Amino acid sequence: MLDLLRSVDDLVVLAEVAPEVLPLATVISSDRPRLDFARVLATFFAEEPPRGVHPTAIVAPTVRLGQRVTIGAYAVVEDGVEIGDDSIIGEHVVLRRRCVIGERTRIKPNSVIGDPGFGFEYDGDTPIRIPHVGAVRIGSDVEIGALVSIARGTLDDTVVEDHVKVDDHVFIAHNARIGRGAFVIAGAEVSGSVQIGPTAWIGPQVTIRDQIQIGANAMVGIGAVVTKDVPADVIAVGNPARVLRARD
């Protein structure tokens, strides 16, 4: 790596421990080099999306838009939706009635927020749909990936708190609550009324059965099937998921 760095002119290096002296390089010692690297990219290289509502988007007259909101091509935003300042709604996103989106939140293309949840009750041998009259509330500084589905609540709302990051191809069922700063990674399925605590990490292809509670700062490993509550500050893996050890 040092040989590669020596071959580059006009170089800035962020490192936890400063490497040996490099010609033509500015070396910045950092306690959190990855975090500082992200900040540099965001400040100097991030692309600013176009602002405004695309002419092909369908936006109901009762929608409340904040300042500098972006709504992409062919998006559908239904009655009573609220979208906070500087939020970005991607192409072909559908926001069903009364969804609330906070500030600086981004929803990537082809996601559907606020469709009715999957709730039925049998009348004899005939399944009868249970109406879902709640909504979806998404906080500020949230990122929702592409092809994500978040169902609205049956009576209460489905809630995604501030700073949550949801990857592509995730399903979040009715009445779930995702705590502040939690991560839900690609392909995960979060069933009805699941409670995920702050800064928890839900790995790819995880399945969480209904009514489960995942504690704050817990980590659920790739492909786990969660059938019992997971305490805070632990790592759980497997099918069925079991606690492996404490999370550092």
Query: Residues 227-245: pLDDT tens digits?
Result: 999 999 999 999 999 999 9
Query: Residues 154-208: pLDDT tens digits?
Result: 999 999 999 999 999 999 999 999 999 999 999 999 999 999 999 999 999 999 9
Q: Which residues pair with 213 in a beta bridge?
A: 195
Domain parsing of the chain, residue ranges? 2-44, 56-246
- Phi, psi at 107, each rounded to 5°: -120, 120
- Cα–Cα distance list, 175 to 152, 226, 244 (Å): 7, 18, 28
As a whole number, mean pLDDT of residues 137-162 equals: 98
User: 46 or 141, which is more confident?
Assistant: 141
The pair of three-digit structure tokens given for residue 33, joined into one six-digit string: 């080099």
Written as one string, the DSSP assignment of the chain is: -HHHHHT-SSEEEEESS--S--TTEEEEE-SSHHHHHHHHHHHHTPPPPPPEE-TT-EE-TT-EE-TT-EE-TT-EE-TT-EE-TT-EE-TT-EE-TT-EE-TT-EE-TT-EEEEPP--EEEETTEEEEPP----EEE-SS-EE-TT-EEEPPSSSPEEE-TT-EE-TT-EE-TT-EE-TT-EE-TT-EE-TT-EE-TT-EE-TT-EE-TT-EE-TT-EE-TT-EE-S-B-TTEEEETTTTEEEEE--
pLDDT at 32: 86
Question: Does CATH place domain 56-246 in 3.40.50.1100?
Answer: no
Query: Residues 37-65: pLDDT tens digits?
Result: 888 888 888 777 778 999 999 999 999 99
As a whole number, mean pLDDT of residues 72-85 equals: 98
Query: Residues 3-24: pLDDT tens digits?
Result: 666 666 666 777 776 656 555 5
174 catalytic? Reply is yes
Query: Residues 85-136: pLDDT tens digits?
Result: 999 999 999 999 999 999 999 999 999 999 999 999 999 999 999 999 999 9
Q: Pairing relation of β-strands 177-178 and 58-59? A: unpaired
**Of 92, 163, 169, 174, which one is the catalytic site residue?**
174
Q: What is the pTM assigned to this prediction?
A: 0.88
pLDDT at 19: 59
